[in-house]
């Protein structure tokens, strides 16, 4: 499949671009079939060969999003501009997930600490002193274990 896209030319920190027709699978700075124009964003110069561009578009070539928006702004192609989709890096997405997990953990901790504070504020029930009746109510198995420990 053919694609019309930009190839960067020019010096370091002084970018200029060629509008070229190339195979979609070709590397970004690789071979191209034909030069269709030039674009210099620093000087705001745009030189396009509109006839060749329209010819290749009619033959099935597709323009990249940036090239399509450039052609629309220059009036070569009619239609709305396309919003460019920005890829989110995996690291950025992973850090967002981690921060969300941390926020949830903090919320849970605050709930737990609030519950502990509420339980501390409640007065504790007073213990009743042991009487003979309560001692007798204890199971005899406890008494046997104490005897066994002494031996």
Residue 60 domain-assigned (yes or no)? yes
Using the predicted structure, report yes or no on whether residue 130 has a pLDDT greater than 70: no
Range of the domain at 18: 2-74
pLDDT, tens digit, for every residue of 55-74? 999 999 999 999 999 999 99
- Would residue 41 count as lying in a domain? yes
pLDDT digits (tens, 9 = 90+) for 85-123: 887 776 666 666 677 777 777 777 777 777 776 666 655
| Same domain flag for 69 and 8 | yes
| pLDDT for 151 beyond 60 | no
Same domain, 112 and 69: no
pLDDT for position 14: 92
Task: Say if residue 66 is in the same domain as residue 92.
Answer: no
Count how many domains the chain has: 2
- Stretch 5-18: mean pLDDT, rounded? 92
Single out the residue in 74, 106, 128 at which a domain terminates.
Answer: 74
- Residue 140 located in a structural domain: no
Q: Is residue 138 part of a domain?
A: no
146 inside domain:
no
Same domain assignment for residues 55 and 113: no
Kind plus residue range of the DSSP H or E element containing 9? strand 2-11
pTM here is 0.55
- Closest to 55 (Cα-Cα) out of 74, 70, 77, 72: 77
Same domain, 8 and 66: yes
Q: Are residues 12 and 60 in the same domain?
A: yes
Q: pLDDT confidence of 140, banded at 50, 70, 90? A: low
| 111 and 56 within one domain | no
Reported as a pLDDT band with limits 50, 70 and 90, residue 37 is very high
Residues 59 and 97 in one domain: no
Domain annotation covers residue 145: no
Mean pLDDT of the chain, nearest integer: 79
Name the strands in the sheet holding 62-63, side by side, starting at the edge strand that comes first in the sequence: 45-48, 34-40, 14-23, 2-11, 62-63
Work out the average pLDDT over 9-37: 89
């Amino acid at each position: 499949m053919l694609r019309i896209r930009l190839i960067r030319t020019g010096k370091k920190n002084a970018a200029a671009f060629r509008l070229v027709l190339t195979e979609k699978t070709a590397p970004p700075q690789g071979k191209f079939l034909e030069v269709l124009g030039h674009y210099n964003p620093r000087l705001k110069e745009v030189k396009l060969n509109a006839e060749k561009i329209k010819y290749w578009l009619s033959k099935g070539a597709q323009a990249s999003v940036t090239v399509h928006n450039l052609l629309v702004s220059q009036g070569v192609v009619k239609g709305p501009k396309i919003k460019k989709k920005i890829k989110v890096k995996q690291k950025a997405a992973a850090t967002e997930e981690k921060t969300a997990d941390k926020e949830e953990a903090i919320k849970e901790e605050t709930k737990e600490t609030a519950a502990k504070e509420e339980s501390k504020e409640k007065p504790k029930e007073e213990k009743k002193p042991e009487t003979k009746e309560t001692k007798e109510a204890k199971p005899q198995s406890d008494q046997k274990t104490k005897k066994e420990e002494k031996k």
